[in-house]
Amino acid sequence: MILLNYFEPETNSWQQISFARLPTQLSADARVWLNLNEATPEEIQQVLHRFAIAPTLAEDFSRQRHPPKLETQPDFSLLILRGYADPDFSEYSSSAQVNLLYSKQVLISLVRCQSASLLEQLTPKIAAGQSLIVTDWVKHLILAVSGSYLEKLIAFEDVLSELEDNMLQRGSDEQMALMMRYRSVLRKINRNLAYQKDIFADALYEEKSPLLNHFSGPDVRDFYEKFERLHSMTDLYYDQLSDLVEGYMSTTSHQINERMKVLTMVSTIFIPLTFIAGLYGMNFVNIPELVNPNGYYYALLAMAVLGVGGLFWFKFKNWW
């Protein structure tokens, strides 16, 4: 189903009309917003054909998954963004895909989002009796996409601090697995943010950037700074998690080394004792010490001296 909102300049009001009633020629003051969230593939193609969208733009716009990008043709611009739809960073099911085709009068939006609250934020608001320019809607959507990351990144800072305290006091394999899961999610969203940051970074340094045809320089800089800050925050949190993982691995490795050191010392002490016991346990007739009435005690004394001497040697070397 195609949801079409049409601003009629003569009545100065918004109307929801069917796609068939859309005028062939739009007046200069008319505004059109086509919401294709619930449209079928056939209806999407019908809309794209109606506005003569270039095949390359139409193909990218229709895809369910596409990396963030900006592409411009003479009449329409294509902007693809990705928001974060999951409640936190413990899982990454899918992004909120925001596909926008816009001109000075027309906005065609296709938003695929599993979160009802985020979907509401990604829906432009139309005030009764007010004629908003299309770039205001696009600006609202860009800010909503950046906000979908910012809110969760700010909340994650407290989670990370608590996790760091727990790891320093009583680290566990369960917390280690949680940190690895967080790192995986942050790495994925970091890629999305890098794409989106580069879109606006390129616009800042290109004098003829297509974004500057619709947005002012301060607006584009604001978009870039928001996504650059988000990208830096994910880098920072990822590095902090990596430090915690490495710290836990180092602590675990140190604990294992301490246990192995104790086992090694015990083995080193008992090796000569085992040798003496094995030597006099051999079944040979001619072993001189077998006929010595005090041979048993001499053997025990030798074992005791070797064992205690080994302990003193380890203590002298500060090995324990």
Q: What CA–CA distances, in Å, run from 198 to 65, 283, 287?
A: 19, 82, 86
Question: Are residues 73 and 31 part of one domain?
Answer: yes
The whole-number pLDDT of residue 227 equals: 92
Give the C-alpha separation, 79 to 195, whole Å.
Answer: 12
Domain with 214 in it: what CATH number? Answer: 3.30.460.20
The whole-number pLDDT of residue 11 equals: 75
Q: What CA–CA distances, in Å, run from 154 to 91, 109, 190, 196?
A: 17, 29, 15, 19
Q: What are phi and psi of 216, to 5 degrees?
A: -75, 165
Question: Are residues 245 and 274 part of one domain?
Answer: no
Q: Which residues of the chain have pLDDT under 70?
A: 127-132, 207-213, 320
Give the C-alpha separation, 169 to 193, whole Å.
Answer: 34
Question: Are residues 118 and 26 part of one domain?
Answer: yes
pLDDT, one tens digit per residue, over 300-316 is: 888 888 888 888 877 77
Question: Are residues 65 and 178 part of one domain?
Answer: yes
Instruction: Residue 287: give the domain boundaries.
Output: 254-316
The whole-number pLDDT of residue 4 equals: 80
The whole-number pLDDT of residue 234 equals: 92
Question: Are residues 238 and 279 part of one domain?
Answer: no
Question: Are residues 180 and 259 part of one domain?
Answer: no
User: How deeply is 199 buried, as exposed, middle or buried, from its count of CB atoms within 10 A (0-12, 13-18, 19+)?
Assistant: buried
Question: Are residues 231 and 181 part of one domain?
Answer: yes
Domain end: 197, 217, 251, which one? 251
3-class SS at 233?
A: helix
The whole-number pLDDT of residue 160 equals: 86
Give the C-alpha separation, 165 to 139, whole Å.
Answer: 40
Question: Are residues 289 and 244 part of one domain?
Answer: no
Instruction: Report CA 56 to chain centroid distance, whole Å.
Output: 29
3-class SS at 115?
A: coil
Closest CA to 218 of 204, 232, 197: 204
Question: Are residues 52 and 11 part of one domain?
Answer: yes
Two tokens at 276?
Answer: 């003496």
Question: Are residues 233 and 211 part of one domain?
Answer: yes
Question: Are residues 266 and 238 part of one domain?
Answer: no
Give the C-alpha separation, 27 to 8, whole Å.
Answer: 9
Two tokens at 246?
Answer: 């490495």
Closest CA to 149 of 235, 241, 66: 235
The whole-number pLDDT of residue 77 equals: 86
Q: What share of the chain is helix, strand, coil (3-state, %, to 5)?
A: 60, 15, 25
Give the C-alpha separation, 86 to 313, whole Å.
Answer: 60
Half-sphere exposure of 64 (CA within 13 A, CB side): 5
Question: Are residues 192 and 93 part of one domain?
Answer: yes
Handedness of CA 200, 206, 209, 212 (dihedral sign): positive
Give the C-alpha separation, 186 to 92, whole Å.
Answer: 9
Q: What is the 3-state secondary structure (H, E, C) of 126-142?
A: CCCCCCCCHHHHHHHHH
Q: Which long-range contacts (CB under 8 A, 24 or more apart) does 77-81 make?
A: 77/101, 77/102, 77/103, 77/210, 77/213, 77/214, 79/138, 79/142, 79/199, 81/141, 81/142, 81/145, 81/196
